[in-house]
Amino acid sequence: MSTVLRVRDLTKTFGRGEGLVRAVDGVDLEVAQGETVAVMGPSGCGKSTLLYCLGGLDRATEGEIELAGKRIDQMGERAVARLRRDAVGFVFQAFHLMDELTAVENVEVPALLAGLSSRAARKQAVGLLDRVGLGDRAGFLPSALSGGQRQRVAVARSLISKPQIVFADEPTGNLDSSSAVDVLRLFDDLHESGQTLIIVTHDARIAATADRLITMRDGAFIDQTILTGGARGNVSALAGLE
């Protein structure tokens, strides 16, 4: 199985002198194609900073990051942006949908930016909305959708470039329990389909559906647990609804 992400001695600092903060402190990580990795830890431990560095949204201070076969720590900003567009998907806690665009228009934006024709982009976007259970909401604006529906639109958007890896930052953090369960099931479906995922979360239900659970504290990994097989949680049971 090929490696999608390889990290060596990743460090991200803020400030200087006595005010220096090591948000990420010497992290090593390898993620295989098709693997789902959950990262948990207390607020402020560096989880989101790590995710943004891994996905090329922020620059690490030190260390090596090989993403989709490319050393992004050695690439310029434009090259990193192209790699993000072509090989990476992102899902954020705050959805980051464009309020003036419909669900299907939000989903197709990355494909249009990548040069896909309007017809092809629309066809893919409609298919992805069907996949996340929102085919009948394609023409709705985000304001007419529930929080869980908006997050599912965001997940569909993250998949339209057929990314090698999807990074999700607290994908259930802004959702009520019922909506969170819908998104939980969606991420489990993505995992079962072979999509590579790295998910930063406080939600133990999402973490329990991963192959591997990493615990962070003070910018460092303090524990890694393999959850593959019988140790992985059943979504319905974890939801507490069925």
Read off the tokens for 149: 């529906």
d(CA 143, CA 236): 29
pTM for this predicted structure: 0.92
Dihedral over Cα of 88, 214, 200, 232: its sign: positive
Read off the tokens for 221: 């990994």
Compute the CA torsion angle 19, 24, 25, 31 (nearest 10 deg). Answer: -170
d(CA 104, CA 122): 7
d(CA 171, CA 199): 8
205 sits in which H/E element: helix 204-207
Q: What is the three-state SS of 6-33?
A: EEEEEEEEECCHHHCEEEEEEEEEEEEC
Angle at 93 between CA 91 and CA 94, to 5 degrees: 105
Q: What is the pLDDT along the chain (242 residues), one digit of tens a residue?
A: 799 999 999 999 999 888 899 999 999 999 999 999 999 999 999 999 999 999 999 999 999 999 999 999 999 999 999 999 999 999 999 999 999 999 999 999 999 998 999 999 999 999 999 999 999 999 999 999 999 999 999 999 999 999 999 999 999 998 988 888 888 889 989 999 999 999 999 988 888 889 999 999 999 999 999 986 545 555 555 555 44
Residue 198 has a pLDDT of: 97
Class of the CATH-defined domain 3-239: alpha beta
Nearest in space to 112 (alpha carbons), one of 139, 131, 85: 85
Residue 53 has a pLDDT of: 97
Nearest in space to 56 (alpha carbons), one of 13, 10, 95, 98: 10
- One-letter amino acid at 188 equals D
